[in-house]
Amino acid sequence: MKKTIPLSEATSVHVRLLMAGWLATACFAGIADDCRVPAGSGSGTPTVLAITHCECGGGCVTIDFETPEPLKRHGLEESHDLRNWHPVPIATFEQRQATVLRTVLAGVTAQTAFYRVVLQEAVATNPPVYVNLQVDAELDDTAGLRTVISELQRRQITATVFVSADYANRNALFVNELFRSGFEIALHGYYTGEQLASMTYAEQKDLLSRAKLALEGCRPCGTYKPIIGFRPQYFSQNEDTFRVLDELGLTYNSGFKVGQLYLEGHTWDAMPYPVPGHNFRVLPISTVPDGCKRVYLCDLACGQVENWTPAQWRAGLLRALADAVETRQPLVVLLHGYYAGDEAKYGYWQPVLDFLDAAQGKVTFVQSKDLIALTTP
């Protein structure tokens, strides 16, 4: 290193490192300068990746680098302190020229200071790409949900249906039908719009206990369904919620989003991960770049919050599929029958069909509980 720069002084510069065959470059949020390092720098036998351009600004980090092995697998890592490095498993790489690749990370967190590119060891085989479709059953919708379910059944695709207790109470036969036909049933709170984070522990325990009982059904009646998964309404939850999930014996919580809503140390994790001090695992919903931010793959959010057109929704789904195939990371997509299933009103159904067509033969569709089991050591 040509100059030692204390971290307190490094907020307006790029810092260049050579570490065990990796070329690391620091990009601080809000800084956009070129970072040029001579090719062939470093010592020892490991290959040094020459970073030719590093730009950080507006929530995106863009890195161009030269590699002698453009067809091999590369990885992006981040660090807060230049000592502890963490992989960004969702990073993808575009070939710009024969030996020059580019990676763009959207939705960069402000506290992250440094990024580096590594040339990964070759693997004998590529692991399967798992896709988990989550379909919400709530409000008064049955027609749209039947549209989605019928198409999945026609394609022999399995999925998880997140059901509110209010919906189950009004559509008990339909929910039982879904379970008997092979769909996983998971808990989506008691009623649409509830805000668990605004409730006391006792209120949450009472509400979720009754909701789980409503979904489970009756053993003597032959309508019992094991409920092990949960996603809170509007992602509203807190530590009291986590405590209640443990007490109810739930084993996964899908109320998180890759790069948007996560537990400390798991910013970019698309794989399920454990929650310290609790008995359940986090199952994050996938996100996709949209400029320099990330959008989570939910039809309702993309249509009503992001105001995506059907063409943008289709592009987002296909981009997420391509990224999952490249990175071999799980893809979790959230659909609502009353939104995606209503093609005449919203135009979001044909893009879903195009996505399913494109995924055929490339991925393995699994239920949420299966993805948890497959990725649990």
Q: Which CATH architecture has domain 130-374?
A: Alpha-Beta Barrel (3.20)
Listed in order, the ranges of the chain carrying CATH 3.20.20.370 are 130-374
Which of 330, 367, 334 lies closest to 184, judged by CA? 367
- Which residues, listed in sequence order, are joined to residue 301 by a DSSP beta bridge? none
Task: Please answer whether residues 331 and 318 qualify as being in contact, where contact means their C-beta atoms are separated by less than 8 angstroms.
Answer: no
Angle at 5 between CA 4 and CA 9, to 5 degrees: 165
pLDDT digits (tens, 9 = 90+) for 86-117: 899 999 999 999 999 999 999 876 666 688 88
Supply the mean pLDDT for the chain: 86
Distance in angstroms (rounded) separating the CA atoms of residues 99 and 62:
17
The predicted model scores a pTM of 0.88
Distance in angstroms (rounded) separating the CA atoms of residues 106 and 101:
17
- Burial level of 271, CB count in 10 A (0-12/13-18/19+)? middle
pLDDT digits (tens, 9 = 90+) for 321-364: 999 999 999 999 999 999 999 999 999 999 999 999 999 999 99
pLDDT digits (tens, 9 = 90+) for 260-293: 999 999 999 999 999 999 999 999 999 999 999 9
DSSP string, 223-234: ------EE--GG
> 321: which 2 tokens?
């599929």
Confidence label for 166 from pLDDT (cuts 50, 70 and 90) = very high
> 225: which 2 tokens?
């369904």
- Amino acid identity, residue 45? T
By percentage, how much of the chain surpasses pLDDT 70? 85
